[in-house]
Structure 1
Amino acid sequence: MANPQIPLEPDQFYHIYNRGINSCSLFKEAGNYEHFLRLYDKYISPVAKTFAWVLMGNHFHLLVYITKPEGLEDLRPLELNKRINQQFSNLFNAYTKAFNKRYNRTGSLFEHSFRRKIIDSKDYLRQVVLYIHNNPVHHNFCDHPIEYPWSSYLTCISVQTTKLNRDAVMGWFDHQANFKLRHNQKLDIEKIEQWLDL
């Protein structure tokens, strides 16, 4: 199972996810998704490379590779872990503050500490990418990942400049044609969730 206590350490891949407290909405309109992504770039880009993501109405999934923040390479592992975790905390706190102000609400928005799982194989990476991109299909938002605007799928098949590590993702699937083929296949999400131990 995912563990919120697993330290986020440099040179490791992680599947990170969370949902709204009591499954409440995290995103109600396009501006919410856009603001979250702006804050994500501000707070997370300095400490992680992103390989896949999806923002759903009441939850999100990220596939990241934690890097050593510039200028902090000499910190002890525990202190470095605190700094990296703080960046994620800053993201969620900043978004909660903006969301609460926008919708005249108070209190927590996200459920407890975010979940994270270490990813330790290429096959695991591929499965997480497929799971993340097919989350909107599984939750009946669309019939194919290409139809959902708030995930990294469209960026993966685009040629536009991006901070997403698209080339590495394509490498995990050997090439873009196979990436698309795998995303065109019907997935058994429950089976993947069991395999991913979610």
Structure 2
Amino acid sequence: MLDKIEKDHYYHIFNRGINSTIIFATEDNMTYFLKLVKKHLTDKVDIIAYCLMNNHFHFIVKIIEDNNKATQAFSNLFNAYAKAFNKQQNRTGTLFERPYKRIRIDNESYLKNLILYVHRNPENHNLIKNFQDYRFSSFNAYLKNKESIISKTKDYILSMFEDIDNFKHAHHTYQSGFENLADLNSRH
């Protein structure tokens, strides 16, 4: 059963393409998706972390708006992106698995582990040798003094890791001990 989205709670939001199909064919698709995230989500949720992969994505968010408005915002995001992607790729039909997955994050330890897991995802999937070099995760946004979709929560999250040096160290020394995301989520 999926967790119900509730205001003032943290969630891991993730999904993949239907039948594990590609949902981001190009980097431009990923850039466009993040623009839609900013348009549809940033006044309804605080974005803690994200990672976009070619056939799936992960977001860690805190809901800051009424449940129904936040749920509708996710729906609007996914529908807007699917419509544009289908048009660009000359395809029809559902793009994402339904319903999108959401798991409530109920403690700080789980939140910290999930942030590490999400940021290291491209390396874990052998997409890139070093997760730090991946452009479509929020890891580098934490290291730069530049406005981004995680700006509202950046200082709070860095303080959970004590400071930026410990944030980087935790990422470099992270060994999840989990075979996959299901293992991580089942132990929260």
What TM-score range do you get, normalising by the shorter chain?
over 0.9
- C-alpha distance 146-39 of structure 1, shift in aligned 2 (>3 A): same
What is the CA–CA distance in structure 2 between the aligned matches of 1:143 and 1:61, rounded to whole Å? Answer: 19
What is the CA–CA distance in structure 1 between the aligned matches of 2:142 and 2:96, rounded to whole Å? Answer: 28
Structure 1 stretches (4+) deviating beyond 3 angstroms? none
Task: Name the residue aligned to 2:84.
Answer: 98
Task: Name the residue aligned to 1:135.
Answer: 121
What is the CA–CA distance in structure 2 between the aligned matches of 1:140 and 1:192, rounded to whole Å? Answer: 14
- The equivalent position to 2:159 in structure 1, one of 171, 175, 185, is 171
- C-alpha distance 100-37 of structure 1, shift in aligned 2 (>3 A): same
What SS does structure 2 have at the residue aligned with 1:190?
coil
- The equivalent position to 2:175 in structure 1, one of 169, 180, 187, is 187
Say yes or no: does 1:29 pair with 2:29: no
Q: Could you report, residue by residue, the CA deviation over 1:128-177 in whole angstroms, capped at 9, with x for unpaired residues? A: 10010011011001222211100000101112123312111111111111
Say yes or no: does 1:55 pair with 2:52: yes
Q: CA RMSD in A?
A: 1.5
- Matched AA of 2:48: F
What is the CA–CA distance in structure 2 between the aligned matches of 1:47 and 1:110, rounded to whole Å? Answer: 21
Query: Between Structure 1 and Structure 2, whose CA radius of gyration is higher?
Result: 1
The answer on whether the counterparts of 1:17 and 1:61 sit within 8 Å (CA) in structure 2 is yes
Question: Cα distance, 1:190 vs. partner?
Answer: 2.7
Say yes or no: does 1:42 pair with 2:39: yes
What is the CA–CA distance in structure 1 between the aligned matches of 2:172 and 2:48, rounded to whole Å? Answer: 19
Task: Name the residue aligned to 1:13.
Answer: 10
Deviates more, 1:179-188 or 1:148-157: 179-188
TM-score (structure 1 length as normaliser): 0.88
Aligned-residue sequence identity (percent) comes to 38
- Matched AA of 1:133: H
Task: Name the residue aligned to 1:71.
Answer: none
What is the CA–CA distance in structure 1 between the aligned matches of 2:18 and 2:54, rounded to whole Å? Answer: 12
Task: Name the residue aligned to 1:124.
Answer: 110
Say yes or no: does 1:144 pair with 2:141: no
TM-score (structure 2 length as normaliser): 0.92
Question: Cα distance, 1:192 vs. partner?
Answer: 6.7
